[in-house]
Amino acid sequence: MLNTRVNLVPCLWFDSQAEDAAAHYVAIFDNARINKTTYFTEVGFEHHGKRAGSVLTVEFELDGQPMTALNGGPQFVFNEAISLQIMCDTQAQVDHYWNSLTAGGDPRAQQCGWLKDKFGVSWQVVPKRLVELLDLPDKAAADRVMAAMLQMKKLNIAELEAAAL
């Protein structure tokens, strides 16, 4: 095992919406910022087809988590096989992130705290309390919480807690 620290930085592949997506996400999250934008040059045009001066990458942070948005072209699209989790302390946080990220997104891709935003990126807006409730020593209560969660789109902490009783 290596004894060096590495940073894991998710890279989100967009066709040409990297700059818009990064700005959108930075506007939603507290403690968020765009750090750097890089641009295509003439080199490699025959491979990427992007005009010189257009945005290549946007490096940004969401609550201290570094991220990269890449304008890689239309070859790849997002799917639900990977998502970004937002672990929330309060219902107000759940409501904020859910409402902000679902705006313009795919309403058919909303279930159990999962959503797909207007750029096609999948997110999970999860109250930390859900994790605690699913780990209750009373397995029947945990099962009721799971059953309640499976009926929800946006997760509701009060309803999850009521299901545990």
Q: At 69, is the secondary structure helix, strand, or coil? A: strand
CA distance 156 to 161: 9
Q: Which amino acid is at 145?
A: V
- What pLDDT sits at residue 2? 60
In the chain, the domains with their CATH numbers are 11-71 (3.30.720.100), 84-164 (3.10.180.10)
* pLDDT of the chain, 165 residues: tens digit per residue: 666 777 889 999 999 999 999 999 999 999 999 999 999 998 988 888 888 999 999 999 999 999 999 999 999 999 889 999 999 999 999 999 999 999 999 998 899 999 999 999 999 999 999 999 999 999 999 999 999 999 999 999 999 999 999
pTM of the model: 0.91
CA distance 137 to 130: 14
Q: Which amino acid is at 84?
A: L
Residues 6+ apart with CB under 8 A from 99: none
Token pair in block for residue 27:
């506007």
